Chains A and B, each alone.
Chain A
Amino acid sequence: MIEKRGIMFDLERSIRDWKRNLQRQEAFEDGTVADLETHLRDSIDALKREGMPEEEAFHEAVSRVGGAEGLAGECGKVREYRLDLRRPWRTSRFMPALAGNYLKVALRKIRRQKGYSFINIAGLAVGIACFLLILTWVRFEFSYDRFHKNAREIYRVISEFHSPGGKINYVWTSQAPLASALKEDYPEIINSARALSWNWTIGQEGNRFREFVWVVDPAFLEMFTFIFIQGDPATALSNRDSVILTETLARKQFPNEDPMGKTVIAGRSTPLIVTGIIKDIPLNSHFDMDAIVPMELTREGNNLTEWGGHNYRTYIQLQKGISGEDVQQKVRHWGKNVDPDTQETIQLQPLTRIHLFALEGGGLIIYIYIFLAMAFFVLLIACVNYMSLASARASARAKEVGVRQVVGARKKQLIGQFLSESFLLSLIATILAVVVALAFLPVFRRLTGQEIQVSYSLETLALVVALAALTGILSGSYPAFVLSRPEPVKIFKGIFRGGQEGVLFRKILVIVQFALSVFFISGTIAISKQIHILRNKDLGYDKENIVCLNVLGGIEQNASAVKNRLMDNPKIVGMTIVDSFLDAPNSSASSSVIHWEGQKAGETIPWLIVRGVDFDFQKTFDIPMAAGRFFSREFPSDPKDGMIVNEAAVKAMNMDSPIGKKFHFWDHDGTIIGVIKDFHFRSLHKSIEPMVMKIGINLQKIAIRIRAGDVAATIKFIETEIKKIVPGYVFEYEFLDEKLDRLYKAEERMENINLSVSFLAIFISCLGLSGLVAYTAEQKTKEIGIRKVLGASVGSIAMMLYKDFLRWIIAANLVAWPLAFYFANRWLRNFAYRINLDISIFALSSALVLLIAFLAVSYQSIRAATAQPVDSLRYE
C-alpha cells in the first residue's frame, strides 16, 4: 500500500503544478492567478460533493476553467487599449524618467574613466574637426560662380580641336564674331558676350600698377551679377573710354575722393573715365578682375568681325528651363557655317562647372573627391576607436546591463541608452571640433592655398548637427549592439566574458585603421617624390636666376639701349624679349594652318605651339641646338623668313633633313634654319609638344638672366637702369623658378593635406591602439603578475602585450600596399613625367607606421610590465 501511496494523486501538488504553468504566462497578473486558483478549488469541492473522486474532479475542474494559453491571451487583451498596443507587462519603449539616469551614468563613465574618455573624445574631436575643415573647403569650392543670379543658365563656349589620333585640344576662347552669331541663330540663347582678360597697367599718373582688366561686351554686365555701388550697369560701358573699377581698386586710386567721372590712364596713354564702381568680385569666382572696360576700346587694334583667331572668352545665356545639353547638340557643329571643312567643334561648359571640372576630364573635382574620402576615413578611424574600446569594455559594463535588464530594461532600451551615450560623446566632441576647426582655419587656408570662407548659416549648423549624429551612429551602433546582448543570468553567474567575443571584430578594426594610415603615408611619400621630380627635372635649360618682367611698357622701342646698358653689369648674363615665359605658352596653331615642304597628303600636325622670340632667346636661356643655327643679327632675312622648330616638331612632321625646308603656319611663310633641342615650355603634366619659333611674334615680356649672388642689388640695378631709359616704367618682377613652382600648386596642396591627414590618421589610430593595449594589460593583470613572480622580464612581458598588436599592424600593411599602389599609380597618370612606384615607398611608410605604433604601445605595455606583482595578485 505504501508503494501505491507513492503514485497516489496529490491534489495540492497538482494544483501547484497547474499554477506554475499559469505563472509562466506573463499576461496573468498575480490577482488573476489567485482568482483562478480559488475558482478551481471551489469547483473541485463542488464536484467532490457530487461524489466524484478527487483526481477526476481535479481534471474536470481544470478542463472547465480552460487552457492557460487561451486565458492568457484574453487577459493580455484586457489592457491593450493604449495607442502603442503595448502589452501591460512590458515596460514602455521610452521612459523620460530614465533619460536623467542615462545622462548621469554617461557622465559618470566619462568622469571615472578619464583616459578612456579622453581617447574617445579627443579622437572624435580631431576626426570631426578634420572633416569639418575639409567640408568647409569643399562647400567653398562648390560655391564657385554660383553667386551670379543667372549662374544656371550661363555657359562658356569651348572650342574643341580634334587631332587625328582622337585627342581633343580644348580652348576656352573662341573667334570674335561667334558670340553674336550664336545668339542670332538660336532663340534658346537669349544673351551672349565676349570678354578678354588683360593684365594691364592702369591708374593715375605715378600710381599705376598692373591690374586684371576685363574687356567685355556691354551684355556681359547683363548676364553676370555685379553689384554696382555707383554708376548704372545699363550705361556704364556705353562710351568707348569708360571704365568700371572694383571697390578696392577705386580706393587704391582715389583714396579721398569720389572716383566717378575721374580719369585713369591705362596702358601707355589711354585715358579712361570712371563710370562705375562695383563691389569686389567674390573669391569664389573664376573671374579675376580689378576693372572692366568696353570691348569698343579694342576696335582699332582688333578686328572684331574676323573669324581668324580664337582669342575671346565667349559666354552665352540660355533661356530659363532650356537644357544645356540640347542646345549643345544644336550648336556643336556650328563652325561648319564658317568653314565647311573645319575639324573644330563647340562645347558648352556650364558656368558652375568651370572651376571644378577640367575640360579634359578630371580637374579640381578629383582632389575634392580625394579629400572628402580622406576626411571620411579620418572620421571613420576616430569612430573605430570608439567602437573597439567600447566593445572591449563590454564586460566592465555587463553588471550595469544585468541590473537594468532585471528591473525590466528591454534590449531596445539598452541599445537606445548606449546609442545616446555615443551621441553625447560625439556631441561633446563636435563642440570641441568646431572650436578646433575654427582655430585651425588659418592653417588650413595655407594648406589648401585657398581663402576659404565659412558661411555661418542655418545650413552650416544643420551640417554640423548631422555630422555629430553621423558620428554618433557610426561609432555607437556596434557597441550598443554588443553591450545590450548579454543575458543577466550569465552576467551574475560570471559566465559572460565581455570583450572576448569582439576580439576578431577589434582585430579587423585595428587592421582597417592602420591600413588607412599606411595608405595615407605611402600616398604622401609618393606625392612628395613626384613633386621632387617635377621641381628638379632637367627642363632642357637652366631655370635658376631668370628675372621675369611682365610688361614691356615702352622698353620695346629702346630694347637695344636697355640691353646694352644692362649687359654692362657683369652680373647680368643675358636679356631676351619673348611672347611668354617658359611656364605656359601663349599661342598655338591648329592643323589647318600648318604646312611644310614635303608634307604628304593626309599628313598633319594636330597642334603646334608658336613662340615669339628675339635674337637673344637661345643665348639667354642657354638651350642647345640640335641642328642648324639660331636666329642671328648677321642674317638680315631671319626676322622675316627664318623659323626654328623643336625636335618634337621634326618628329611629328617626319622630316629627314629639316634645315632649309619651307614651313608655313598661320599666314607666315618661311624656311627652317635650325632645330632647337627639346625643352619644356609648360608644366610637366604634359610632354613636349611640337613648337615653332619666329622672331618678333607678339613680344610682350622680358626675361633677364643674372648671376647668382647679391641678387637684390642686381635687381635694383635693373630697375634703375630701365627707369633711366623708360621713365614711368612699372617695375614688377618675378623669378622663373617661382613661376614654375606655381604650376604644381595643386600637387603641393595635395602633399600638404595628405601629410596632415596622414598625421591625424596615425595619431588617432595610435590613441586607439594604446587604449586597447591598456585594456589588454588590465585583463591580463593576473597573468602578468604570475609571470613576473615566476621570473619573466619586463621586456618579455611588454613584448607579449604588443606582439599581438604588431601582428595586426603587419596585416594592415599587407592590405594597404596594393590599395596605395593602385591609387598612387592612377594619380601619377596625370603626369607626362613621373616617378617609378617602387617598393621602397611602401616599405618606408610601413616602417614608419610600425615605429610610431611601437612607441604608442610601449608606454602602456611597459607600465603594465613594471607593475608590482603583489599589487596585481593581492585580490583573492
Chain B
Amino acid sequence: MLSRTLMAASTRPIILAILSRGEDYGYNLIQKVKGFSGGHIDWTEGMIYPVLQRMEVDALISSQWKISADQRPRRYFRITERGREELASELAGWGNVWKALNHFVEPLRAEE
C-alpha cells in the first residue's frame, strides 16, 4: 500500500503516463492501474474524477463525451501538449528521486 502523500504525488503522473499511450476514460484508468500494480495502488475510485477535472482545468488533458456500445455516456480524456511536457518533467523528477534513493540505500546493503 502506498502512503497518502506518495499517492497524492503520484496520481497525476500516472494518469498522464497512461493517457500518453492513448485516450481513455475514468473507469478504465482505474482498472489499468489496479491491474498493473496488483492492488498495491488502490485509489478510492470516485476520487479520480475530481483529479481529472482539476487536470483539465490546468489544461494538462482534454475530454470528450462519447456514447459507448453499451449506451453508456463516457468521458474520454486525452493528453495535451502541455500534459506531455508536464509528464516529461515529472518523469525527470521521479527519476532523480529514484536515483538518489538507490544511491543512498546501496552502501548499507554492502555492509551487511
Question: Which A residues contact B (CB, under 8 angstroms)?
Answer: 31-32, 34-36, 38-39, 41-43, 46, 64-66, 70-71, 74-75, 77-79, 81
Given A35-B26, A38-B72, A42-B27; A78-B47 close (CB under 8 Å): no
Whether B47 and A38, one on each chain, are in contact in the complex, defined by CB atoms closer than 8 angstroms, is no
Distance in angstroms from A218 CB to nearest chain B CB is 83
Partner of A34, one of B27, B45, B53, B73: B73
* B50 CB within 8 Å of chain A: yes
The reply to whether B54 and A71 contact each other, CB–CB distance below 8 Å, is no
A63 to B84, CA, bound (A): 33
Q: How large is the interface on B (under 10, 10 to 19, 20 to 34, 35 or more residues)?
A: 20 to 34
| A65: contacting residue among B46, B53, B65, B75, CB under 8 A | B46
Beyond A42-B27, A43-B27, whether A32 also contacts B72 by CB under 8 A is no
- The digit string for B20-35, where 1 denotes a CB below 8 A from any CB of A, is 0000011100110000
Residue of B46, B74, B75 with most chain A CB atoms under a 10 A cut-off: B46
Chain B residues near A46 (CB, 8 Å)? 31
Determine if B50 and A74 form an interchain contact, defined as CB atoms under 8 angstroms apart.
yes
The total number of A-B Cβ pairs within 8 Å is: 60
Residue of B nearest to A38 (CB): B72
Query: What are 30 A-B contacts defined by CB distance under 8 Å?
Result: A31-B75, A32-B50, A34-B75, A35-B26, A35-B49, A35-B75, A38-B25, A38-B26, A38-B27, A38-B72, A39-B30, A39-B46, A39-B49, A46-B31, A64-B44, A65-B45, A66-B45, A71-B46, A71-B49, A71-B50, A74-B50, A74-B51, A75-B49, A75-B50, A75-B53, A77-B54, A78-B50, A78-B53, A78-B54, A81-B57
Closest CB-CB distance, A7 to chain B, in whole Å? 28
Q: List residues of chain A with CB within 8 A of the CB of B65.
A: 31
Q: Are B45 and A43 in contact (CB under 8 A)?
A: yes
A42 touches B46 (CB 8 A): no
Q: CA of A43 to CA of B44 in the docked complex: distance in angstroms?
A: 13
Closest A residue to B73 by beta carbon equals: A34
Identify whether the interface residues of A are mostly helix, strand, loop, or mixed.
Answer: helix
Q: Which residues from chain B contact A64 at a C-beta distance below 8 Å? A: 44-45
How far apart are B58's CB and chain A's nearest CB, in angstroms? 9
Give residues of chain B (39-67) contacting chain A, Cβ–Cβ below 8 Å: 44-47, 49-51, 53-54, 57, 65
6 new A-B contacts at CB < 8 Å, known A38-B25, A38-B26:
A46-B31, A64-B44, A65-B45, A77-B50, A78-B54, A79-B57
CA of A506 to CA of B51, assembled, Å: 55
What chain B residues lie within 8 Å of A32 (beta carbons)?
Answer: 49-50, 53
Most buried by A among B30, B49, B73: B49
Looking at B50, B57, B73, which has the most chain A CB atoms within 10 Å of its CB? B50
Residues of chain A contacted by B53 (CB below 8 angstroms): 32, 75, 78
Identify the closest chain B residue to A72 (Cβ). Answer: B50
Closest CB in chain B relative to A33 CB, distance in Å: 10
Distance of A157 from chain B, by nearest CB (Å): 78
Chain B residues with CB under 8 A of A41: 72
A81–B57 alpha-carbon span in the complex (Å): 10
B47 in contact with A74 (CB, 8 Å) = yes
Task: List the B side residues contacting A43 at CB < 8 Å.
Answer: 27, 45
CB distance from B35 to the nearest CB of A (A): 11
Contacts of A81 in B (CB 8 A): 57
For residue A67, give the distance in angstroms from its CB to the closest CB of chain B.
Answer: 8
Residues of A within 8 A of B72 (CB): 38, 41-42
A42–B26 CA distance with the chains assembled, in angstroms: 10
Alpha-carbon gap, A374 to B41, bound state (A): 77
CA–CA, A43 to B31, complex, Å? 9
A-side contacts of B30, CB under 8 Å:
39
**Given A31-B75, A79-B57, A39–B26 Cβ distance below 8 Å?**
yes
- In the assembly, what is the distance between CA of A808 and CA of B49, in Å? 64
Determine which of B44, B50, B57, B73 lies in contact with A38 in the assembled complex, contact meaning CB atoms within 8 Å.
B73
Q: Could you tell me the distance between the alpha carbons of A124 and B97 in the complex, rounded to whole angstroms? A: 73
In the docked arrangement, what's the CA distance between A65 and B44, Å? 6
Chain B proximity of A71: nearest CB distance (Å):
5
In the complex, the answer to whether B57 meets A36 with C-beta atoms within 8 Å is: no
